[in-house]
Amino acid sequence: MVDIPNEVLPSAMRDKWGWFVGLGILLLICGGIALGNLFIATVASVYYVGMLMLIGGIVHLAHAFQVRGWEHILFWVLSGLLYTLAGVLAFTNPLLASEALTLFLAIALLIAGTFRVWVGRKVKPESGWFWIVISGVATAIAGIAIALGWPVNSLWVLGLFLAFDLIFQGWTQVAFGLFLRR
User: In 10 A of CB 25, how many CB atoms?
Assistant: 14
DSSP H helices, 37-93, are 38-64, 70-92
For residues 60 and 5, what is the distance between their CA atoms, to the nearest angstrom? 36
Which pLDDT belongs to residue 181?
84
The closest of 157, 134, 130, 162 to 146, measured between CA atoms, is 157
For residues 119 and 29, what is the distance between their CA atoms, to the nearest angstrom? 37
State the Cα torsion 108-112-115-116 to the nearest 10°: -170
Query: What are the tens digits of pLDDT across the range 15-67?
Result: 888 999 999 999 999 999 999 999 999 999 999 999 999 999 999 898 888 87
Contact 133, 117 (CB under 8 A): yes
Contact 53, 91 (CB under 8 A): no
For residues 25 and 35, what is the distance between their CA atoms, to the nearest angstrom? 15
Q: Please give the model's pTM, rounded to 2 decimal places.
A: 0.75
Which pLDDT belongs to residue 59?
92
Which pLDDT belongs to residue 66?
82
Residue 65, φ and ψ in degrees, nearest 5 = -85, 0
Which pLDDT belongs to residue 4?
54
For residues 155 and 102, what is the distance between their CA atoms, to the nearest angstrom? 9
Which pLDDT belongs to residue 74?
83
C-alpha neighbours within 13 Å on the C-beta side of residue 173: 19
Which pLDDT belongs to residue 102?
95
Q: Where do the domains of the chain lie?
A: 17-181
For residues 98 and 9, what is the distance between their CA atoms, to the nearest angstrom? 43
Parts of the chain with a pLDDT under 70: 1-10
For residues 106 and 161, what is the distance between their CA atoms, to the nearest angstrom? 12
Single-letter code of the amino acid located at 79: S
